[in-house]
């Protein structure tokens, strides 16, 4: 049968505003989480990671928050720039493994 | 330091044929994972190799196979290609056995006609 494309959540923000991208994960055994950015025609690019013994981690202009109680992950991008326009994926990793399970992704569009 | 290199970048094959894709990980990385990305299913884990051993396998049919060489380079093979195998195949390398950053290559775009 004909495959239906995934409906990607979208987020549009004005240049200079902060962006928040959310992700729900499902596996309680996951203990490592990564956010990736994927631009058209490219492979996913590592942004930031967090381990399950933390609830917040900051990088350059990015912050990841982890709420294990409700199995929720978020990525905050400060002062969003046009170059931040891309699809963002969260990924969870089971303990003791290197196999990532990806969310469906969120398309971020930055309006100049 | 060179990144993850995948070859070829683009490939067109006919149904029923087989295909081999190649991945050279970042120097020093011993873990290589493969993923399939399609509009319909998103990014899905295929398998992971560490020190020439397959450690984990995703939910794909036996037509999908792989191997890793002593220099950590990896290949994946898809036999008896189907139209639904058309996808972007991504390879990721990691330095450690577990819970560490995975760095992706540009992918191989496979089109089955």
Q: Which of residues 39-98 of B touch A (CB under 8 A)?
A: 39-45, 48, 50, 55-56, 58, 84, 90, 92, 94, 96-98
Span A89-110, mean pLDDT?
88
Q: Where are the beta strands (DSSP E) in chain A?
A: 10-14, 19-24, 30-38, 45-51, 56-58, 62-67, 72-77, 86-94, 100-102, 106-111
pLDDT digits (tens, 9 = 90+) for A36-57: 999 998 999 999 999 999 999 9
Q: Which residues of B touch A46 (CB under 8 A)?
A: 101-104
Least confident of A7-16, A77-86, B2-11, B77-86: A7-16
Output phi, psi for B85, to 5 deg: -80, -5
The angle formed by the CA atoms of residues A104, A110 and B4, to the nearest 5 degrees, is 55
Q: Answer whether A3 touches B (CB < 8 Å).
A: yes
Q: What is the DSSP secondary structure assignment for residue A6, as one 8-state letter?
A: P
User: What's the pLDDT score for residue A94?
Assistant: 77
* Residue A2 banded pLDDT, cuts 50, 70, 90: very low
User: What's the pLDDT score for residue A1?
Assistant: 36
Q: Which residues of B touch A6 (CB under 8 A)?
A: 39-42
User: What's the pLDDT score for residue A4?
Assistant: 42
* Residue A97 banded pLDDT, cuts 50, 70, 90: confident
Per-residue pLDDT at A80 exceeds 90: yes
- pLDDT per residue rounded down to tens, chain B (113 residues): 679 999 999 999 999 999 999 999 999 999 999 999 998 889 999 999 999 999 989 999 999 999 999 999 999 999 999 999 999 999 999 987 666 788 999 999 999 99
* Residue A96 banded pLDDT, cuts 50, 70, 90: confident
Chain A: residue whose CA lies nearest to B43: A102
């Amino acid at each position: 049968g004909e495959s239906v494309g995934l409906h990607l959540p979208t987020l549009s923000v004005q240049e200079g505003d902060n962006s928040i991208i959310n992700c729900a994960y499902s596996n309680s055994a996951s203990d490592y989480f990564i956010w990736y950015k994927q631009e058209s025609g490219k492979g996913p690019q590592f942004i930031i990671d967090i381990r399950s013994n933390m609830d917040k981690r900051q990088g350059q202009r990015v912050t990841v928050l982890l709420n294990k109680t409700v199995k929720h992950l978020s990525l905050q991008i400060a002062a969003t720039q046009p170059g931040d326009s891309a699809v963002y994926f969260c990924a969870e990793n089971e303990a003791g493994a290197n196999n990532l399970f990806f969310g469906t992704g969120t398309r971020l569009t930055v309006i100049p | 330091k060179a990144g993850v290199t995948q070859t070829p970048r683009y490939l067109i094959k006919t149904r029923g044929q087989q295909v081999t894709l190649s991945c050279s990980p970042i120097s020093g990385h011993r873990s290589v994972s493969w993923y399939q990305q399609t509009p319909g299913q998103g990014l899905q884990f295929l398998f992971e190799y560490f020190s020439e051993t397959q450690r984990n396998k995703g939910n794909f049919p036996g037509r999908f196979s792989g191997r890793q060489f002593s220099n950590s380079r990896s290949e994946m093979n898809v036999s008896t290609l189907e139209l639904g195998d058309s996808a972007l195949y991504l390879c990721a390398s990691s330095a450690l056995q577990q819970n560490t950053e995975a760095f992706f290559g540009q992918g191989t775009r496979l089109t089955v006609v």
